[in-house]
Amino acid sequence: MTLLNMNLPDITDIKKTVNDIFKGKGGVVLYLSVIGILMGIYAFLRLVIEGHGAVTNTSSLVPWGVQISTYVYMVLLSTGCTFINFFGYMFYRKQYEMFGTRILFIGIFIAFAGMGALATELGRMDKMIYFLLSPQPKSPMWWMSVWYSIYVTLKLIELVNHKRGTHSDKLLWATFIVAIITYSNLGSVFGIIEQRAYYFGSLLPIYFLMLGFLTGAALATIIASAHFYKSDTEFQKHVQPFRNSLRIGLGIAMLATFWRLLAGLYAQSEGYEIFQINFMYSFFFELILSLAVPLIITYFSTCQRCMIVISLFVLATQFKTRTDLIVGGFKVPVFKAYTIPDIVSYIPSHVEMFVVIGALSAATFIYIFADKIGFFKGEEHIHG
């Protein structure tokens, strides 16, 4: 079907896919994502009906919890898809172009799902419009809304161009540059908080970009590996760029994590003891298990199944480290009092976890459904 010169799935294909889903032919992952979406709806209703404070475990001591970390994780994953899309077209066009629409599509909806997770953290979601109507140019958080609007618009235009069978290097560059600005700005929201030693520093905006590239490379590797799951020859030919990107992402993330940890350990100012408290965890989990081990494995195991498992492991561990980063900023309280513990702990409630599951499931369902109705067919050769 053609609409506004865009190659779109036929209505009959959509109806057939919906019927297959209701008949139990949708696949395990799709049905799990449906369950996850229902859990997310349940959490949303609890938040709206009972109120944010009644169903979450955040407090004045830990105001940012897993909903914020989910938002950070998912929007960084989205920008990672943008980076992979840019480098794919710039350096590996022949192998990459058949995946361009897929990477663009999933990147857009991951960003939307992440923003949905953020919306559930704001308490009064109906008041979000005032964030745009009351500009605060001195606030990095306000600039986030500006750059997000530009970023998502460019991504949607790029997707429309793909569906029309065209490709613009100028638009590719514009989206890439705006993505850098947008998500380094997100890092600055945390990096300028001087009172929170775990956040503060000029490295954090760059650190966010590196982690975004890593997670984007992991997701792209899963998509490419799954596409050639039954063809080892085609897999080795087309997936090599994604494997290289994953290795590069792991390497630069290791470098950034190491120096951030070392700088924190050397610092003697108040609040920096958080790096000493977290040292064993940061070294063995964040640096060794989450980054070094997958990097080593990629050089010895290159089959489709191995690459999918490694990439899933990277995505899972990076979600854990994003949560630990966001929550860890509040682990050492700024103010000392008898009623305030020396180390603040936080465990998310089941409602908060359902928000996480719902956001991830929504993005997963939309991608799988689009694939089943044939949204990505005919995109193997996009001309400039």
Q: Report whether 71 contacts 118 (CB < 8 A).
A: yes
**259 phi/psi in degrees, rounded to 5:** -70, -30
2 pairs with which residues across the strands?
Answer: 7
Which domains are delineated in the chain? 57-348 (1.20.1630.10)
- What are the angstrom distances between the C-alpha of 125 and each of 43, 70, 129, 138? 14, 17, 9, 23
pLDDT digits (tens, 9 = 90+) for 181-192: 999 999 999 988
Q: Is the per-residue pLDDT at 74 higher than 80?
A: yes
Work out whether the CA dihedral 118, 123, 125, 128 comes out positive or negative: negative
Q: What is the model's pLDDT at position 123? A: 67
Q: Which residues of 358-378 are buried (b: 16+ CB within 10 A; e: fewer)?
A: bbbbbbbbbbbbbbbbbbbee
Q: Which of 87-96, 204-213, 260-269 has the highest mean pLDDT?
A: 204-213
Q: Is the per-residue pLDDT at 88 higher than 70?
A: yes
pLDDT digits (tens, 9 = 90+) for 7-54: 788 888 889 999 989 988 889 999 999 999 999 999 999 998 888 888
The residue with greater pLDDT, 175 or 336, is 175
Q: Report whether 189 contacts 144 (CB < 8 A).
A: yes
The residue with greater pLDDT, 36 or 200, is 36
Q: What is the model's pLDDT at position 336? A: 76
The pLDDT-based confidence of 166 (bands split at 50, 70, 90) is confident
Q: Report whether 303 contacts 220 (CB < 8 A).
A: no
| DSSP helix/strand/coil, 374 | coil
Q: DSSP H helical segments within the chain, as ranges?
A: 11-22, 28-50, 52-55, 66-91, 93-96, 100-119, 129-133, 140-163, 169-191, 203-227, 232-266, 273-277, 279-281, 293-298, 304-328, 350-372
DSSP class per residue in 292-358: IHHHHHHTT--SHHHHHHHHHHHHHHHHHHHHHHHHHTTSS-SS--TTS-SS------HHHHHHHHH
Q: Is the per-residue pLDDT at 5 higher than 80?
A: no
The pLDDT-based confidence of 231 (bands split at 50, 70, 90) is low
Q: What is the model's pLDDT at position 92? A: 87
Q: Report whether 17 contacts 30 (CB < 8 A).
A: no
Average pLDDT, integer, range 229-236: 62
Q: Is the per-residue pLDDT at 85 higher than 50?
A: yes
Average pLDDT, integer, range 194-207: 88
pLDDT digits (tens, 9 = 90+) for 357-366: 999 999 999 9
Average pLDDT over the chain reads: 88
CA distance 112 to 106: 10
Average pLDDT, integer, range 257-272: 88
The residue with greater pLDDT, 139 or 69, is 69
Q: Report whether 212 contacts 183 (CB < 8 A).
A: yes
Tell me what percent of the residues of the chain surpass a pLDDT of 70.
92
Q: Report whether 96 contacts 241 (CB < 8 A).
A: yes
Residue with tokens 């924190």: 264
Q: Is the per-residue pLDDT at 300 higher than 90?
A: no
Q: What is the model's pLDDT at position 236? A: 65
